[in-house]
């Protein structure tokens, strides 16, 4: 078996840390919501929401856990 270097090792360790703090990979609903919120936040100039959406989307694309605060912001944005 070949040793793992670089990104593969970092991703595994980051996923373990995220699991240890109670995070999990974002579910499909939160990622879909993040895209909708991202569009609305761009229209409104809401920079904090834009960054939270980007982190949720990036986490899904990288198979990692998004911050629960970012997911909460995304899911509660239109309330």
pLDDT of residue 26: 54
Distance CA 45, CA 50 (A): 8
Integer CA distances (angstroms), 59 to 3, 43, 65, in order:
25, 23, 6
pTM of this structure: 0.66
Q: Where are the domains of the chain?
A: 35-79
Segment 34-58, tens digit of pLDDT: 999 999 999 999 999 999 999 999 9
d(CA 36, CA 38): 5
């Amino acid at each position: 078996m070949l040793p793992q270097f670089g990104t593969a090792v970092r991703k595994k360790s980051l996923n373990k840390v995220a699991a240890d703090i109670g995070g999990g990979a974002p579910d499909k609903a939160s990622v879909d919501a993040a895209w909708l919120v991202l569009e609305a936040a761009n229209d409104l100039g809401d920079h904090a929401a834009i960054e939270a959406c980007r982190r949720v989307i990036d986490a899904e694309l990288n198979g990692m856990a998004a911050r629960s605060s970012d997911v909460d912001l995304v899911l509660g944005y239109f309330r």
